[in-house]
Amino acid sequence: MLEEQVVSVGPREALTISSAQLEVSSQDGSKTPKSPFTRGFISTPIASPMKKAIENMHGYLGEVGRFTKLDPQDDWLPITESRKGNAYYAAFHVLSSGIGFQALVLPLAFTTLSWTWGIISLCVAFTWQLYTLWLLIQLHESDSGLRHSRYLRLAMAAFGEKMGKVVTLFPIMYLSGGTCVTLIMIGAGTMKIFSQIVFGRPSQLSTIEWYLVFTCVAILLAQLPNLNSIAGVSLIGAITAIGYCALIFLVSVVQGRIDGISYEPPRGHSDASMIFSAWNALGIIAFAFRGHNLVLEIQGTMPSDAKQPSRLAMWRGVMFAYLVIALCLFPIAIGGYWAYGNSIPTNVNGGMLSALYKYHQHDTSKFIIALTSLLVVINSLSSFQIYAIPVFDNLEFRYTSKKNRPCPRWLRTAFRGLFGCIAFFIAVALPFLPSLAGLIGGIALPITLAYPCFMWINIKKPHKYSTNWYLNWTLGVVGMLLSVLVVIGAIWDIVAQGIGIHFFNPQ
């Protein structure tokens, strides 16, 4: 006699189902229990729609669960405290971190690589780093549902906890902290020039005092609580970066090439010296495409579910941002080299900004020069915020890990003030740091061009000897070799050319 089971479908209804209806024949003829949520278990008009609804809800919750395995500690940290970002916010952040003072030194690479190799290297670097950017965006959400909202966490998942820290912690912190230090130097130095143009007389404040003014304003802006809350600041930074790149490019091209211009590589140097200089130039190009250490963090501010995973909105924002970045970087690199050739200044501020002051201070409107300087200052203040966020996040992570509670407001303020003071001290102690653009580019190059390829292989595990496997292995190995060569070339260039090393004496 068949045993009956009762399935409750509502507060007042119940469906009686026999055990025969709960069995399904397998291929070998044996009977196995059939779940009430599988197809065809009820044929009544009332239960059929309910069955579909339950099946859909069950599948939906299963898919959403894959994207909602969030670490509770993330709700306390600046990067992931708010997950209300979107493609527009992502574009603002990427633009703010992707265009900056590093774009102004790109023509320096052309002085060594010349026209052909300079343009080829720029195109290859742009395409390569855009591909690795796509890899990082795809790796943000793992198959298990865990979101890697920080570059360091993804590296630890791919390479192991210890190895991930060893290979990525220093370059990431160096990129964040070192960039903030350089922004203090360039922003404060440009503040000084702006005041001289506006008031028509030398500034009464010393360079160190201008550093202090810039740092205080940067620390004040840094009190915004999280990465999502500085989207407006990043938008201002993006607009100002586009603005000063456009102004410098237009002034340089409209005024025409300077007298005595030369595009020939420096003569009298040995073949070895030329090779090392070329490697250093590649480091300058690599330095111009920094920002990969912030991509996962930016994506971490976005909501994600099965139907709209964060990678879709992030990629839309990145594609728009990099279209604008290309429209800024390529013209200023090619136009700057066309206008100044090998005469581009190589001092602390360097590149196109110094060329504007040096060659066009007297034949260009003071308003244009002052406006350009003001845009550089605003952009430096804005970029400082997004590059400092990983450092703030790391400091608060250590506190929340030990105390298992959110960081109090007063301590968060103290952390950010402390970082600003340390960055100010380094800027005063090492004022020649911007002259090391090639060396910085070499150290940071694996973060951009190599590590994402190895992460993809370790996590996604493409078929061995497949096209994808060969592509990522090749790019990863070449990226690591290129990093070593760039560092060697930068060190050689520093030794051969020399830089003005003056500790605690910013000019």
CATH value at residue 290: 1.20.1740.10
Does the pLDDT at position 17 exceed 80? no
CA-CA distance, 389 to 444, in Å (whole number)?
A: 18
| Tens-digit pLDDT profile for residues 272-294 | 778 888 887 888 888 788 778 88
What is the Cα 244 distance to its own chain's centre?
21
Confidence at residue 281, expressed as pLDDT on a 0 to 100 scale: 84
Is 502 within a domain? no
Is 507 within a domain? no
Q: Are 396 and 77 in contact (CB under 8 A)?
A: yes
Is 411 within a domain? yes
Confidence at residue 502, expressed as pLDDT on a 0 to 100 scale: 65
Does the pLDDT at position 51 exceed 90? no
- Which residues are within 8 A (CB) of 474 and not within 5 positions of it... i.e. 6 or more apart? none
Is 72 within a domain? no
126 pLDDT band (50/70/90 cuts)? very high
Is 71 within a domain? no
Q: Is 37 left (phi over 0), alpha (psi -120 to 50) or beta?
A: alpha
Confidence at residue 347, expressed as pLDDT on a 0 to 100 scale: 61
- Average confidence (pLDDT) over 454-483: 94
For residues 199 and 273, membership in a common domain is answered with yes
- Average confidence (pLDDT) over 372-386: 94
Q: Which of 21-35, 115-129, 245-259 is predicted with the least confidence, judged by mean pLDDT? A: 21-35
Confidence at residue 229, expressed as pLDDT on a 0 to 100 scale: 92
Residue that wins the pLDDT comparison between 304 and 20: 304
Does the pLDDT at position 349 exceed 70? no
16 pLDDT band (50/70/90 cuts)? very low
For residues 272 and 402, membership in a common domain is answered with yes
**What DSSP string runs through 302-334?**
S---SSS-HHHHHHHHHHHHHHHHHHHHHHHHH
CA-CA distance, 319 to 323, in Å (whole number)?
A: 6
192, 175, 211: which is closest to 425 by C-alpha?
211
Confidence at residue 205, expressed as pLDDT on a 0 to 100 scale: 87
Does the pLDDT at position 427 exceed 80? yes
Q: What is the number of structural domains in the chain?
A: 2
Instruction: From 65, 96, 113, give the residue that closes a domain.
Output: 65
For residues 465 and 390, membership in a common domain is answered with yes
H-run or E-run covering 468: helix 467-497
For residues 133 and 251, membership in a common domain is answered with yes
Mean pLDDT of the residues in the chain:
82
Confidence at residue 40, expressed as pLDDT on a 0 to 100 scale: 42
CA-CA distance, 281 to 189, in Å (whole number)?
A: 25
Q: CA-based angle 124:126:129, to the nearest 5?
A: 100
Is 70 within a domain? no
Q: What percent of the chain has pLDDT over 70?
A: 80
CA-CA distance, 133 to 138, in Å (whole number)?
A: 9
Does the pLDDT at position 470 exceed 90? yes
For the chain, the farthest-separated pair of C-alpha atoms sits apart, in whole angstroms, at 106
| Tens-digit pLDDT profile for residues 77-125 | 999 888 888 999 999 999 998 887 888 889 988 988 889 999 999 999 9
204 pLDDT band (50/70/90 cuts)? confident
The beta-strand segments (E) located in 367-444 are none
Residue that wins the pLDDT comparison between 96 and 502: 96
Q: Token pair of 55, please? A: 């099946």
| Tens-digit pLDDT profile for residues 318-329 | 999 999 999 999
Confidence at residue 22, expressed as pLDDT on a 0 to 100 scale: 39
Confidence at residue 240, expressed as pLDDT on a 0 to 100 scale: 95
Does the pLDDT at position 170 exceed 80? yes
Residue 77, judged by CB atoms within 10 A of its CB (0-12, 13-18, 19+), counts as: buried
For residues 291 and 414, membership in a common domain is answered with yes
Confidence at residue 71, expressed as pLDDT on a 0 to 100 scale: 66
| Tens-digit pLDDT profile for residues 205-240 | 888 999 999 999 999 999 999 999 999 999 999 999
354 pLDDT band (50/70/90 cuts)? confident
Is 506 within a domain? no
479, 472, 504: which is closest to 167 by C-alpha?
479
Q: Give residue 385's domain range.
A: 84-497
Does the pLDDT at position 26 exceed 50? no
For residues 346 and 448, membership in a common domain is answered with yes
For residues 282 and 397, membership in a common domain is answered with yes
Ordered alpha helix ranges (H), 140-206: 151-159, 161-199
For residues 111 and 52, membership in a common domain is answered with no
Confidence at residue 60, expressed as pLDDT on a 0 to 100 scale: 45
437 pLDDT band (50/70/90 cuts)? low
Q: Are 150 and 301 in contact (CB under 8 A)?
A: no
For residues 311 and 446, membership in a common domain is answered with yes
Collapse the DSSP code of 22 into the 3-class scheme (helix H, G, I; strand E, B; otherwise coil) and give the result: coil
For residues 105 and 33, membership in a common domain is answered with no
Does the pLDDT at position 13 exceed 60? no
Does the pLDDT at position 495 exceed 80? no
Residue 147 DSSP one-character state: B
Q: Is 392 left (phi over 0), alpha (psi -120 to 50) or beta?
A: alpha
- Average confidence (pLDDT) over 136-151: 88
Is 426 within a domain? yes
For residues 417 and 457, membership in a common domain is answered with yes
396 pLDDT band (50/70/90 cuts)? very high
CA-CA distance, 434 to 348, in Å (whole number)?
A: 6
For residues 481 and 447, membership in a common domain is answered with yes
Does the pLDDT at position 36 exceed 90? no
Does the pLDDT at position 436 exceed 80? no
